[in-house]
Structure 1
Amino acid sequence: MSEGKEMSFWGHIGELRGHLIRSILAIVVAAFVIGFNINWIMDHIFFGPTRNDFPTFRVVNHFSRMILGEDSIHLPKDFPVRVQRLYQQFNVMMAVSIFGGIVAAFPYIVWELWRFISPALHPKERKNSIFIINSVWILFMVGVLCGYFLILPFAVNFGVIFKISDIIVPLYDLSDYTTLFLQVILGMGIIFLFPVLIYFLTTLGILTPTFMKTYRRHAIVLIMVVAAIITPADVLSMIMAALPLIILYEFSIMMCAYTHKKIQKAAANLPAVQE
């Protein structure tokens, strides 16, 4: 009997190992694809927010011309980037490839996770878990896109236009820009998973909508702190990061209320079912 349990345990470990290996292979394949196309990706995606024709800047300037009669964002034609170490470009290529591989393979990684846990779930739980699993990768991708199109361009714009003297000639470090890029995008992708965390905490009975509403002001202060951590020091970038997070918090309150009400309803019907 104990041998059967031991075999069952190691069977689960072996199955988990298979899912992890396939997930890692997906990341490696995606990273290799990005690495082989690194020149195009660096020119059009990585350095995209440094150009005036970036979609975010075009939208802002479009409305700026309608209201003010002129463009409000004027980035320099060139974004001079330097390297200071021999293997700096290689290290950046590896970082961008691995990061891009994780982002590209993230939906597949989440799907592998669901494949591992779904056999242990009841049909009703399996149906609900599909919604949660899809929410994980969708929220992560929305966070990544929000960081790329909403926060990073304004952070770059502030860093470029801010000057303390006309004598200073701007020359930007490749590693600094890479750190900013990954920090903003990965940070927003992770933070956008907040509603999923709220769902699990509500399901476990740790969190209630009353608690979230009561401490809303404290949460906003914490959101501003988090926004300041994942963005540079300028106020505009921090505000642009905080706004979607505040909206996300309000959405989390509604989801918490819905989940809490559903749990209470199930608990109220439980005695009747037992009778």
Structure 2
Amino acid sequence: MSEGKEMSFWGHIGELRAHMVRSLIAIVICAIIVGFNVNWIMDHIFFGPTRNDFYTFRVVNHFSRELLGHDSITLPGHFAVQQKKLFEQFNVMMAVSIFGGIVAAFPYLVWELWRFISPALHPKERKNSVFLINFVWILFAIGIMCGYFLILPFAINFGLLFKVSDSITQLFDLSDYTTLFMQIVLGMGLVFLFPIVVYFTTSIGILTPAFMRKYRRHAIVLIMVVAAIITPADVLSMMMAAIPLLLLYEFSIMMSAYTYKKVEKRKLEEEKSRL
């Protein structure tokens, strides 16, 4: 939108479409880059949490050896993944490319969103929104890393070690593993955007820190439900997801309190200016 210029409804729609087209182009470019490097990405990133030398397992086993004298996590030497459908590998390659494209382009997507809404903001709000826009993609990145390094490895570990009979041969479907990967990693990335929702709802007067404190117990129950949805529903993975979400909720309360004070201060200044 052009600053200082009144635009019609269809003008806004046209401007929004331009931002969306540029965002889509950014995702496509990043997805193509990921697609050209998909073999390395699949071997080192996608299937990384299925190997004993994964960073999370190395850290856990390091402390386990210091405290207990032995490794706590030892995965099978071979993670047997099978392809059941003819074009399954191609479909997974496309899914991983698109997912990687969205993650890689996310800072640019947020910047395009800010470019669309910033002309409608006051100069002071625009200055403050620069920090907020950077905060959005940083939170998303933290959520992605939390899902990848903290939750996914333990979910895989539980799935590999849990047995009801030694006579069962473990063969894992490629599509099922892909779904698990996307569900946990992308799910955590999206959930970590919750403080941004809190910021905006507090700014417009819908939410207050007092409300969030009052219904903290209800929020804990909801967080456990969300953790169960994101993870494969085993207790260990669910708790590993719930802990950072609980910390995120407490952080959101502090953000709501900070925003609420700013809103109240602004209202007081506006009332004084009218007198």
Q: Name 2:116's counterpart in structure 1.
A: 116
SS at match of 1:71: coil
Partner of 1:30: 30
For residue 91 of structure 1, report the CA deviation from its aligned partner: 0.5
Pair 1:107-2:73 in alignment:
no
Shift of 1:7: 6.6
Distance 1:66 1:135 in 2: 37
Structure-1 residue corresponding to 2:15: 15
Distance 1:184 1:207 in 2: 28
Letter in 2 for 1:172: F
Tell me, what secondary structure is at the counterpart of 2:52?
A: coil
- SS at 1:263's partner residue? helix
- Where does the alignment leave 5 or more consecutive residues of structure 2 unmatched? none
Instruction: Provide, for residues 65-123 of structure 1, a one-character-per-residue CA deviation record: whole Å limited to 9, x for no partner.
Output: 01110000000111000011001111101111001100100000110111111122221
Q: Distance in 2 between matches of 1:227 and 1:199?
A: 22
> How high is the TM-score relative to the length of structure 1?
0.96
AA at the equivalent of 1:98 = I
* Per-residue deviation, residues 19-67 of structure 1 (Å, max 9, x unmatched): 1111101100111111111110000000000000000000000010011
Cα offset, 1:265, TM superposition: 1.5
Give the Cα separation in 1 of the matches to 2:199 and 2:241. Answer: 22
Runs of 4 or more off by more than 2 Å in structure 1? 5-15
- 1:263 alignment partner in structure 2: 263
Number of aligned residue pairs: give it: 271
Q: Distance in 2 between matches of 1:159 and 1:39?
A: 25
Cα pair distance change 1:210/1:69, threshold 3 Å? same
Counterpart residue number, 2:155: 155
**3-state secondary structure, aligned to 2:232:** coil
Cα separation, partners in 2 of 1:6 and 1:206, compared to 1, 3 Å:
closer
Q: CA RMSD in A?
A: 1.3
Deviations 1:155-175 (A, max 9, x none): 000001111111111110000
Describe the superposition over 1:182-226 as per-residue Cα deviations: whole angstroms up to 9, x where unpaired. 000111011000000001111111111111111111101110110
The 5 A counterparts of 1:14-163 are 14-163=14-163
CA distance in 2 between counterparts of 1:174 and 1:200 reads 40
- Aligned-pair identity (%): 73
Q: What TM-score do the two structures reach when normalised by structure 2? A: 0.96
**Matched residue type, 1:113:** L
- Please, which moves more after superposition, 149-158 or 197-206? 197-206
The code of the aligned residue for 1:64 comes to: S
2:242 aligned with 1:239, yes or no? no
Counterparts in 2 of 1:212 and 1:36: CA distance versus 1, 3 Å: same
